[in-house]
Chain A
Amino acid sequence: MTVSTALLPVLDDLNKRFKGRLDAVRAPRADEIYIHAQMDLVAGFTAHLCRRWQARLVSLFADDARAGEGAFHLFYVFALDAARGFVLLRVPVPPEKPEFASLTNAIPAVNWQEREIQDWFGLKLIGHPNPRRCALHDDWPEVYPLRKDFDLRTELPPFQGARHKFREVEGEGVFQVPVGPVHAGVIEPGHFLFSVAGEPVLYLQLRLFYTHKGTEKLFENLPLPHCVRLAESISGDSGFAHATAFCHAVERAADTEAPPRARFLRSICLELERLHNHLGDIGAICTDVAFVTVNMHCLRLKERVLRLNESLTGNRLLRGMACLGGVRFDFDAGQIQSLRQFAAALRPEFESVVQLIESSASTLDRLKGTGVLKPEVARDLGVSGIAGRASGLDRDLRRDFPHAAYEAVKIHVPLYQAGDVEHRMRVRIAEARESLSLLEQFAAKLPDGPTRVEVGEPPPGATALGWVEGWRGEIFHWIRAAPGGRLARCKVKDPSLQNWPALSEAILGNIIPDFPVVNKSFNLSYSGTDR
């Protein structure tokens, strides 16, 4: 067992502090430590790790290991930014007593993730402040789709229209405004229930999971190469990021690494994906405060990125580019040249769009102070990505846990404290500039060599965490391999799942007409959340 030197003191401390209570410690990789313990240790362990080592609980999920190990397992994934490593606490839940203690009161960030486990695995939550259904809608029969004895193709009775019981909000002049799941714009489905008194929003309840497609279950039923294509379809705007995070996990489980050139090409594609999404969002935020001209410019520039994507990878959204062990298509000298020319040509055009926004006092006035997410709230909710960096959370996996080729470059991570719509847009502006610079750096430093290596079957039972800083935030994929090149479990963590509750906080006190722009400034993925 070789643990990275940065993680050694953490491990020593944990061993000392929880002497005799850690059932097993193993480190399949230098930056990924698994600690097995019992349920009663979770609260104390978490509190200690977070306080002493500034760990962040970035993912919490279950795995049905009843067949092999006679129990369900819960995994608590902690990211230790300073030590550049992950600690995964594994605790068993006996099938005869399928329940687990909630951490939500101490760590609100895991609220939805705990309820998701309750819904999908039938493990009862003890001590959760709001243990209602979250990932399965109220009309679903008592089924636990992610248990191994539940078949993917099970035919359930069709939706009968039973209504979700929202929390009552009462008082003189208080009324409710339901919106969705079919919205007025071209966006994904979800239901929002606003409780308002006059114009200001008192309370916002979210009802998501309309696009739940059984994705995590489906991963267990497909051969590995097909799983990459499935990962591309988790969230359409982050297809390449999700597929790469998935490949990253499988490659780690199989103890292989993509060759240098492939890692650079992955980084280039990740930055292209970031760029076209940021351009689209900057335009859309301006549209929502009626500055449509900016949107038209942004869509024009975005189209150029999409066409570049197509000329490089064959698909406008980079579909089909990711694969295990590297990337599917190499870029020739001409393509690299066109990439560099593109970056150089886009920069002044992008700056002129930024200039246009800056010159519009009325636009900035509408964005400033709108939809404020306070830094302390963002921290409690574990908000990741753009929304986090606009609210003082200085995190970026590209810098803190370099994947793909990010080790080779220096990344400037924008950071603001204001946490309003304006600053979520400013994070995007700064990151779009950074992406253009990164594209040039990657193109200049692109090493020669193969773009793909053969990835063997991960040994059955091997587990691994893969990650990517997608344009929206931190994406994690965790896999447990099964025999025959299959997966026993694939856990997908999109940053949206983490960030949705923050939207409910940011909208408080704002007026309903500002909801679209506040929502757009987060631009969370419904499909990535619902899976």
Chain B
Amino acid sequence: MIAARARGRPEIEWANWKDARPAAAACPTGAISYQDENGRRTVRIDLAKCTFCGLCADVDEAIRMTSVCECATRRREDLETRAVYNLHPDGSHGGMISPPAHATPAQSESLEVLGQKIKERAKEMFGRSLHIRQVDAGSCNGCEMEIVSLNGPVYDIERFGIHFVASPRHADLLLVTGPVTRNMELALKRTYAAVPEPRLVVAVGACGCSGGIFGVNYATRGAVDAVIPVDVYIPGCPPNPWALLHGILLAMGRWPEKADRGRQERETAGAGADAFSPPRNGLPSGCARSKLAPGFRPV
């Protein structure tokens, strides 16, 4: 189903990597970067920034583009790989001092398998389906196009019990694309505050995961996690439907711990506290659902 020419994440022959500089210069988003210190070079590959453009592989034989797109992770740092090399006087790499900590390679699973897993998990967790609210916090609309594809008859994610809903108040999960612009920051925070807890947030695309090519500038805050807490990061530019499903499934794995934590917080907050009281996550006042009557309790 995925074409042979399809570009997913790059794969690096770490042991035979002669020089990271050409690839770093070719990378438009800074996903490949290095730092030289005391005759050593620390090379960093950050999949959160990678747009899978393949320009690095064009200039460097040690890099090969794979067709693996399902790279979502629960922690931002898991998208990063570092290695340290000794440096030759001419700036090329000598021996590798510290080998890269390999992130577990994502398993490419068929759409059906992914979807069925989500369905089962949604059923055991909620006894119902997963409701998603999508928020474009500044994206170029590329990620939105692929998210729309998910709803078409080919992927038809409704059959797995995933529904895109119109209001954040109906949602279990926020699917946020970025970079978060200065003008969307407050709207994103308010949308987040409107989602009932426990809630999940998935950052979508290179821009959502890291700010992408836009980074942080006068008009953008960069990554989604600079503004609201993120549970899962889905790299790609844009991530294809498989990558999106894989990330959503990963996010559902976080549900039990979140639900437990939410319950504990409510219990320790005491009897007088409102179950719908503003979440303690540093949101500005006025963002919370303060309009509910004080005695209101969820059924």
Number of A-B residue pairs, CB cutoff 8 Å, is 194
- B51 at interface, CB cutoff 8 A: yes
Given contacts A307-B3, A314-B7, contact A213 B220 (CB under 8 A): yes
A153 CB, nearest partner CB in chain B, Å: 6
Q: Which residues of A contact B182 (CB under 8 A)?
A: 156, 158-159, 212
User: Interface residues of A toward B: which range?
Assistant: 35 or more
Is B28 touching A306 in the complex (CB atoms < 8 A)?
Answer: no
Q: Which of A109-117, A233-241, A342-350, A458-466 sits within the interface?
A: A233-241
Q: Which residues of A contact B221 (CB under 8 A)?
A: 158
Interface of A is mostly: loop
Given contacts A159-B182, A310-B6, contact A226 B141 (CB under 8 A): no
- B114 at interface, CB cutoff 8 A: no
Q: Which of B5, B135, B147, B207 contacts A314 (CB 8 A)?
A: B5
Is B52 touching A315 in the complex (CB atoms < 8 A)?
Answer: yes
- B256 at interface, CB cutoff 8 A: no
- A67 at interface, CB cutoff 8 A: no
Is B218 touching A143 in the complex (CB atoms < 8 A)?
Answer: yes
Is B28 touching A314 in the complex (CB atoms < 8 A)?
Answer: no
Complex Cα gap A234–B187 (Å): 21
Is B183 touching A210 in the complex (CB atoms < 8 A)?
Answer: yes
Is B186 touching A302 in the complex (CB atoms < 8 A)?
Answer: no
Q: Which residues of B contact A143 (CB under 8 A)?
A: 218
Q: Which of A160, A299, A314 contacts B152 (CB 8 A)?
A: A299
Q: Which of B254-298 contact A (CB under 8 A)?
A: 286
Q: Which residues of B contact A185 (CB under 8 A)?
A: 166
- A435 at interface, CB cutoff 8 A: no
Is A159 touching B140 in the complex (CB atoms < 8 A)?
Answer: no
The 0/1 profile, CB within 8 Å of B marked 1, for residues 487-531 of chain A is: 000000000000000000000000000000000000001110010
Is A239 touching B142 in the complex (CB atoms < 8 A)?
Answer: yes
Q: Which residues of A contact B184 (CB under 8 A)?
A: 181, 189, 210-211
Complex Cα gap A237–B139 (Å): 11
Is A310 touching B141 in the complex (CB atoms < 8 A)?
Answer: no
B110 CB, nearest partner CB in chain A, Å: 15
- B79 at interface, CB cutoff 8 A: no
Q: Which residues of A contact B26 (CB under 8 A)?
A: 225
Complex Cα gap A189–B179 (Å): 13
Q: Which residues of B contact A217 (CB under 8 A)?
A: 217-219
Complex Cα gap A317–B216 (Å): 25
Q: Which residues of A contact B179 (CB under 8 A)?
A: 213
Q: Which residues of B contact A156 (CB under 8 A)?
A: 182, 218
Q: Which residues of A contact B149 (CB under 8 A)?
A: 299, 302-303, 306
Is A214 touching B218 in the complex (CB atoms < 8 A)?
Answer: yes
Interface of B is mostly: loop
- A154 at interface, CB cutoff 8 A: yes
Q: Which residues of A contact B218 (CB under 8 A)?
A: 143, 145, 150-156, 214, 217
- B136 at interface, CB cutoff 8 A: yes
Given contacts A229-B213, A303-B152, contact A315 B220 (CB under 8 A): no
Complex Cα gap A530–B220 (Å): 12
Residue in chain B with minimal CB distance to A185: B166
The 0/1 profile, CB within 8 Å of B marked 1, for residues 290-301 of chain A is: 000000110110
- A363 at interface, CB cutoff 8 A: no
Complex Cα gap A160–B285 (Å): 11
Is B217 touching A214 in the complex (CB atoms < 8 A)?
Answer: yes
Q: Which residues of A contact B162 (CB under 8 A)?
A: none
The 0/1 profile, CB within 8 Å of B marked 1, for residues 221-263 of chain A is: 0100110011001111101000000000000000000000000
A108 CB, nearest partner CB in chain B, Å: 25
Is B5 touching A310 in the complex (CB atoms < 8 A)?
Answer: yes
Complex Cα gap A155–B220 (Å): 10
Is B141 touching A312 in the complex (CB atoms < 8 A)?
Answer: no
- A311 at interface, CB cutoff 8 A: yes
Is B141 touching A188 in the complex (CB atoms < 8 A)?
Answer: yes
Is A300 touching B5 in the complex (CB atoms < 8 A)?
Answer: no
Is A229 touching B217 in the complex (CB atoms < 8 A)?
Answer: no
B182 CB, nearest partner CB in chain A, Å: 6
Complex Cα gap A229–B214 (Å): 11
Is B237 touching A527 in the complex (CB atoms < 8 A)?
Answer: no
Q: Which residues of B contact A230 (CB under 8 A)?
A: 28, 213
The 0/1 profile, CB within 8 Å of A marked 1, for residues 21-37 of chain B is: 00000101100000000
- B148 at interface, CB cutoff 8 A: yes
Q: Which residues of A contact B7 (CB under 8 A)?
A: 314-315, 320
Q: Which of A158, A210, A299, A312 contacts B154 (CB 8 A)?
A: A299
Q: Which of B151, B166, B185, B216 contacts A159 (CB 8 A)?
A: B185
Is B134 touching A186 in the complex (CB atoms < 8 A)?
Answer: yes
Interface centre among A229, A233, A300 (most CB of B within 10 A): A233
Q: Which of B193-242 contact A (CB under 8 A)?
A: 207, 212-214, 216-221, 237-238, 240
Is B214 touching A187 in the complex (CB atoms < 8 A)?
Answer: no
- B2 at interface, CB cutoff 8 A: yes
Q: Which residues of A contact B55 (CB under 8 A)?
A: 225, 229, 320
- What are 19 sample pairs from A and B whose C-beta atoms fall under 8 A apart? A150-B218, A158-B185, A159-B185, A189-B138, A213-B138, A218-B214, A229-B55, A236-B145, A296-B153, A299-B151, A303-B149, A315-B52, A319-B51, A328-B58, A329-B5, A527-B138, A527-B139, A527-B140, A530-B181
* Residues of A participating in the B interface, judged by any CB pair closer than 8 Å: 137, 143, 145, 150-156, 158-161, 181-182, 184-189, 209-215, 217-218, 222, 225-226, 229-230, 233-237, 239, 280, 296-297, 299-300, 302-303, 306-307, 310-317, 319-320, 328-329, 525-527, 530
